[in-house]
Structure 1
Amino acid sequence: MVGGLNIDRARTAWWLVGLSLGVAVLFVVYSFIGTFVFGIFLYYATRPVYKRLRRRVRPASLAAATALFALALPVLLLMAYTGAIALQEFNNIANRTDLDVLQTTIQPYIDVSSLARSPEELLANPDPALVSEFGKAALEYVGLIGNAILHLFVMIAIAFYLLRDDHRLSRFFRRQFGDEGGVVEAYLRAVDRDFNSIFFGNILNALLTGTIGAASYNLINMFAPTQVVVPYPTLLGLLTGAASLIPIVGMKLVYFPVSAYLGAETAMADPAFLWFPALFFGVSLVVVDTIPDLVLRPYVSGRNLHVGLVMLAYIFGPLLFGWYGIFLGPMILVLVVHFVRIVLPELVAGEDIRPWAVDPTYLFEPETPETRTTETPGVETAETDAVDEGVGVSHQ
């Protein structure tokens, strides 16, 4: 009893300790928010592959490592190289136009991107002086490169442990925060489903499409006539990937105008080479636009978020948070939308939170032979847990 109030000093002290620890954790996450968000993206991007590997590869650690190092790491390195070349092409554009403010902001990244030399340059001129110049340039940015490698390691570590232990994490949350109405499980299911749709469906599709576009346009330029070439092919390819996030029209906003530009340039230079704009348009339509859409469309379909809200999240996310905003913006959107849809109506009405009061069609996906084996998102069967943990299965 303190000042007439019934205050348990021990509980108050523990609450203060818990609050301090929570603030410390939030500070760490805030300081490395981009790393944590990208690690979550890697988890969702590789989880479908991991689930298939898990049926054939044991233990779970080996399946998770295989999924990350066989799929995620090569794709990340390829996208990093493509981004470095695109930065150099942007620098060339900035030198010819008035983009001083933007160029000053990204100048450090442009300097580092100079380490990425085109493979044909290194193969065509294996001069020791060129190798020495490359080595000296790398030493100048060893600190920045080391920091990038450290962040990459943390991203992969986050994705690895989420892949391997997501079922245990889900079980912990259900035990600690679960309620009789099942609202926590319903909310987590809805969030997990849309995270998978956004990260594996939309963003991974945009990143892969941008990389495919950059490779395709550079390959087209190898057969281009001397009179006309695809301008800044790597940067243009990445722009097509970014434009694929826009509903309906998508990357057509990029390659349609470029095709018209190439057609006009070719017609004025030499109409005999009009096959080249047609080739560019055909490759853009089939290889860059149609094929990635057909391959990843099954994973994108079935999402419940309004396309306009998703598009705004992709736009405002990077503007507010920086490069990682393209991942963090949609994450915040998903968390808010499902809170408003599942929890808020009952909170406002002052009633018990009952997730089944919402149409279950929007909360749970239809059961299939694949989904029937899981209890909650990312949760494996109890038998699988028993194999991993080396214990018998107990049923309550």
Structure 2
Amino acid sequence: MGLFTPKRPTPVAQRPVRPPWSLWADSFGRLATRALQVILVLIVVTGVIYAMIQLTLVIIPIMLALIIAAAFAPIMRWMRRKGVPSALATAAALLTILIVLGGVIWLIVNAVRDQLDELVSQATEGFDRVLEWVTTLPFAPTNEQITEARDAVIDFLTSAQFGSGALAGVGAAANFLTGLVLMIVMLFFFLKDGPRIWEFLLRPFEGESYARGKRIGGKTVETLGDYVRGTATVAFVDAVGIGLALWILQVPLALPLAVLVFLLAFIPLVGATLAGALATLVALVANDWVTALIVLGAVIVVNQLEGNFLQPVVMGRSLKLHALVILIALTIGTVLGGIVGAVLAVPITAVAWGITQVWDGDDQPARMFRQKRPETV
């Protein structure tokens, strides 16, 4: 009987049943978690950008008021230390700002208004001459390709996308006046109660979060103020240098070109290049090739002095951004806000980078932005 008795089957070890949430604990689960986090962040950022685009009539005046108030923050602190009443100090600063801005706008309008058509026509003629010279090169594109490229540039410059903002559209005048009034009102309150407003916004925070908020506020005002004052100084020096070169060479429209150099200098990298190209084209049409080459050399010298000497001294550490980051910020700002977006993109990016540098302390950047190893060339 024992010979034919069936053997009992050996029990098979059962795998333990894993809870469903454990699937997120392995490497693939962690990758999926990061992917979901990135998607959620992108959704939030997209929503914020969309809301800002819809509210440009409010956002842009507030940002301009904040930037101007940051530029005058040292003067306001000095007047407060001298015992000047807050209302009187604010009224004096606001009146000074309005007089300065009004005077600059008046000078720009009077310098450019009567000669704008001539400036555009001469620049266009100079561009056509350059295209004619390009067609003589052995590797030159065809006339059809040049025409298509030129039409594409003109269409982009005249499109609603490039000119979008408070100054475009049917209600341009009403939008401009509304934005101007809002900017003046917000500028008054930023000058008068800027520290108190920021302190009110920090009420929910305590301890390290409150200290971080104080550092962020101080760094924002410092970065914006240094950027505006430094950029205005650099733009003035560029305009004077290039304007003197045009006047000495007897290039017509020297004053409007100098004014455009000053305005375009507020757009880093791209603005100086556009201003130099415009001055060179006008010199080419009004004078000759030799004068155009001399103007181009003067523009290059002024830009080199600006980039290697004047900007580091005047702006200090307020704009420690790589050129690639500036170009990306300019592109995004132009697409989202037109010319105004291009002007505001770089200071906003500089503020964001400055905040990361004081996130964990006065001189202690956020953990992910700290330098982990020596940089190799």
Smaller-chain TM-score range?
0.5 to 0.7
Q: Distance in 2 between matches of 1:60 and 1:94?
A: 50
Counterparts of 1:155-304 in structure 2, within 5 Å, are 155-174=183-202, 176-180=203-207, 182-190=208-216, 192-197=218-223, 199-210=224-235, 213-214=238-239, 217=242, 221-225=246-250, 233-234=257-258, 236-238=260-262, 241-242=265-266, 245-246=268-269, 251=272, 277=294, 281=298, 285=302, 289=306, 293=310, 297=313, 300-303=315-318
- Is the contact between residue 214 and residue 237 of structure 1 (CA under 8 Å) also seen in structure 2? yes
Deviations 1:355-386 (A, max 9, x none): 6xx3542369xxxxxxxxxxxxxxxxxxxxxx
Counterparts of 1:106-125 in structure 2, within 5 Å, are none
Counterpart of 2:372 in structure 1 is none
- Is the contact between residue 334 and residue 341 of structure 2 (CA under 8 Å) also seen in structure 1? yes
Give 1:73 deviation, angstroms. 4.1
Q: Distance in 2 between matches of 1:315 and 1:260?
A: 25
Q: Distance in 1 between matches of 2:88 and 2:275?
A: 41
Unpaired runs of 5+ residues, structure 2, are 1-50, 129-149, 367-377
Amino acid at match of 1:92: S
Give 1:318 deviation, angstroms. 2.4
Identity %: 14
Q: Distance in 2 between matches of 1:105 and 1:66?
A: 41
Counterpart of 2:116 in structure 1 is 88
- Identify if the C-alpha distance between structure 1 residues 310 and 83 changes in structure 2 by more than 3 Å, giving closer, same or farther: farther
The reply to whether residue 307 of structure 1 matches residue 322 of structure 2 is: yes
- Is the contact between residue 212 and residue 237 of structure 1 (CA under 8 Å) also seen in structure 2? no
Q: Distance in 1 between matches of 2:278 and 2:343?
A: 28
Q: Distance in 2 between matches of 1:304 and 1:242?
A: 13
Deviations 1:247-294 (A, max 9, x none): 9xx94896599689969x97867xxx99x94899399749x9499937
- Identify if the C-alpha distance between structure 1 residues 173 and 33 changes in structure 2 by more than 3 Å, giving closer, same or farther: closer
Structure 2 residue aligned with 1:35, among 29, 47, 61? 61
Give 1:161 deviation, angstroms. 0.7
Q: Distance in 2 between matches of 1:232 and 1:146?
A: 28
Q: Distance in 1 between matches of 2:308 and 2:80?
A: 27
> What CA RMSD, in Å, does the superposition of the two structures yield over aligned residues?
5.2
SS, match of residue 186 in structure 2? helix
Q: Distance in 2 between matches of 1:254 and 1:173?
A: 42
Amino acid at match of 1:179: E
Deviations 1:40-96 (A, max 9, x none): 111112212222233336211221222232145423551575378289366436764
- Is the contact between residue 220 and residue 355 of structure 2 (CA under 8 Å) also seen in structure 1? no
- Is the contact between residue 201 and residue 297 of structure 1 (CA under 8 Å) also seen in structure 2? no
Structure 2 residue aligned with 1:67, among 65, 86, 93? 93
Amino acid at match of 2:364: Y
- Identify if the C-alpha distance between structure 1 residues 258 and 362 changes in structure 2 by more than 3 Å, giving closer, same or farther: farther
Q: Distance in 2 between matches of 1:292 and 1:237?
A: 19
Structure 2 residue aligned with 1:55, among 81, 87, 99? 81
SS, match of residue 323 in structure 1? helix
Deviations 1:112-163 (A, max 9, x none): x9xxxxxxxxxxxxxxxxxxxxxxxxxxx9x855653442232122122111
Give 1:335 deviation, angstroms. 6.8
Give 1:317 deviation, angstroms. 1.7
Amino acid at match of 2:121: N
SS, match of residue 177 in structure 1? coil
SS, match of residue 339 in structure 2? coil
- Identify if the C-alpha distance between structure 1 residues 251 and 280 changes in structure 2 by more than 3 Å, giving closer, same or farther: same
Unpaired runs of 5+ residues, structure 1, are 1-24, 114-140, 343-354, 365-396
- Is the contact between residue 266 and residue 343 of structure 2 (CA under 8 Å) also seen in structure 1? no
Q: Distance in 1 between matches of 2:90 and 2:75?
A: 9
SS, match of residue 362 in structure 1? coil
Q: Distance in 2 between matches of 1:232 and 1:57?
A: 43
Give 1:165 deviation, angstroms. 0.7
Q: Distance in 2 between matches of 1:207 and 1:268?
A: 32
